[in-house]
Amino acid sequence: MPPTPPDSHDDPKKPSSLRVLVLGGTGFIGRHAVAALHAGGAQVAIGSRHPERHEIAYPFAAMRLARFEQLLQPDAWSALLKDVDVVVNCVGILRQRPSESYDHVHHRAPAALALASATAGIRFIHTSALGLHEGAKSRFLSSKLLGERAIAASGSDYAIVRPSLLDGEGGFGARWLRGLSRSPVHGIPRAARGGIAAMTAADLGLAFAVLAALPSLAAHREVELGGTRRYGYAEYLRALRADYTGTRALQLPLPNWMARVGSHVCDVLHFSPFSYGHWILLQRDNVPRPNRLPELLGREPHAIGSNIPPEPALVRAGKIGPHDLPDTTASRSP
Ligand SMILES: NC(=O)c1ccc[n+]([C@@H]2O[C@H](COP(=O)([O-])OP(=O)(O)OC[C@H]3O[C@@H](n4cnc5c(N)ncnc54)[C@H](OP(=O)(O)O)[C@@H]3O)[C@@H](O)[C@H]2O)c1
């Protein structure tokens, strides 16, 4: 039997027993997780580096200060994990910043969180990525792999979720790819042959809500998620473009050295979501094996496309809209 996806909108009169802390709940993935958890009736708290900036967008959630670079020991997590049944980690950085290293954010802080969760008896759902592998010469990727391994060794009741590339409103990478797709000329690196099972961020949010509601994560230690269709990179750009125009773009092959140098330049300049780690990922298949999304949702994943419903927090923050959305603004906090 597949787990039942949450389908009830929040009723302030209905007592809810599930208290969920979403770390990085203001980010692209986190916002969808928060929206789905809240719509399913969970009491949501959000961990952010800047809780005060996001209070207006999340009137229903308690905002808690969380800076991963300061949470490197299990004890440091105690206050954040108070009154929490499940913690969902959606924190990640594309590029390192002063005092925010890949090692701290992707590896050591999640490792400490997993140990703290084990001690406190809290279920731990961690966002990772497809395509991580031994020997990848990218600290972005290797730090994520180390994080996964530390969590698996922590003794916690954990689920490591590896989503495929995401499409949806408000995503940095999603926005760039859509922008690229509109260009009349697409440069396609020759070695960008990996498959992409792109999925919607909204479906990922729902999957998190389903996982969070499970009494145990023992049957979901490694959860790979994706859409039903496998795209090549060139084909994916064509599919995104088809949402805007019936005209075809000219797709030209790019030498690999150009893509590689370009990725390093982007890393140095902190420009665009294209990083050296992503150049490595583009050369490999990034499809879930097996894809557990249909099982979690109890239906087929939605196709990527421009008609994806936006999440309420973006609308409240004035970043998009107006749209016809369910009212999920009832005031509650854990
Ligand atoms: N987007 C995709 O297509 C995709 C696909 C597969 C996997 N992933 C992985 O999923 C993770 C999240 O991706 P995303 O697209 O949601 O990223 P995002 O939009 O940048 O969100 C990440 C959130 O993490 C929080 N954060 C950043 N640095 C932090 C720190 N030092 N301490 C505490 N919180 C911090 C930020 O929240 P505040 O600003 O509120 O602190 C930010 O909103 C990443 O690890 C990414 O690699 C993404």
pLDDT tens per residue across span 81-113: 999 999 999 999 999 999 999 999 999 999 999
Does the beta carbon of 175 lie inside 6 Å of ligand 1? no
CATH superfamily to which 19-169+196-231+286-316 belongs:
NAD(P)-binding Rossmann-like Domain (3.40.50.720)
| Contact partners, residue 90, CB within 8 Å, separation at least 6 | 22, 23, 24, 25, 27, 29, 30, 33, 127
Q: With a 6 A CB cut-off, is 50 part of the ligand 1 pocket? A: yes
Least confident of 13-17, 156-160, 189-193, 213-217: 13-17
Q: Model pTM?
A: 0.91
Residue 287 Cβ inside 6 Å of ligand 1? The answer reads: no
Q: Which atom of ligand 1 is nearest to the CA of 92?
A: 45
CA of 208 from ligand 1 middle (Å) equals 15
Q: Map out the domains of the chain as residue ranges.
A: 19-169+196-231+286-316
* Structure confidence at residue 327 as a pLDDT band (50, 70, 90): very low
Query: Mean pLDDT score of the chain, rounded to an integer?
Result: 90
Report the nearest atom of ligand 1 relative to the CA of 170.
Answer: 19
Q: How far apart are CA 331 and CA 310, in angstroms?
A: 20
66 lines ligand 1 (CB under 6 A): yes
* 40 against 9, higher pLDDT: 40
pLDDT digits (tens, 9 = 90+) for 132-164: 999 999 999 999 999 999 999 999 999 999 999
Residue 1 confidence (pLDDT): 41
Atom of ligand 1 nearest to the CA of 106: 45
Alpha carbon of 93 to ligand 1 centroid (Å)? 6
pLDDT tens digits, 212-270: 999 999 999 999 999 999 999 999 999 999 999 999 999 999 999 999 999 999 999 99
More confident residue, 76 or 170: 76
d(CA 252, CA 237): 12
Q: What percent of the chain has pLDDT over 70?
A: 87
Over pLDDT 90: what percentage of the chain? 85
Alpha-carbon distances of 175 from 79, 133, 256, 287, 322, rounded to whole Å: 36, 27, 24, 21, 19
In the predicted structure, residue 194 carries a pLDDT above the cut 70: yes
The one-letter amino acid code at 139 reads R
Q: What is the token pair recorded at 60? A: 């229903």
| Confidence class for position 308, pLDDT limits 50, 70, 90 | low
What are 127's strand-pairing partners? 161
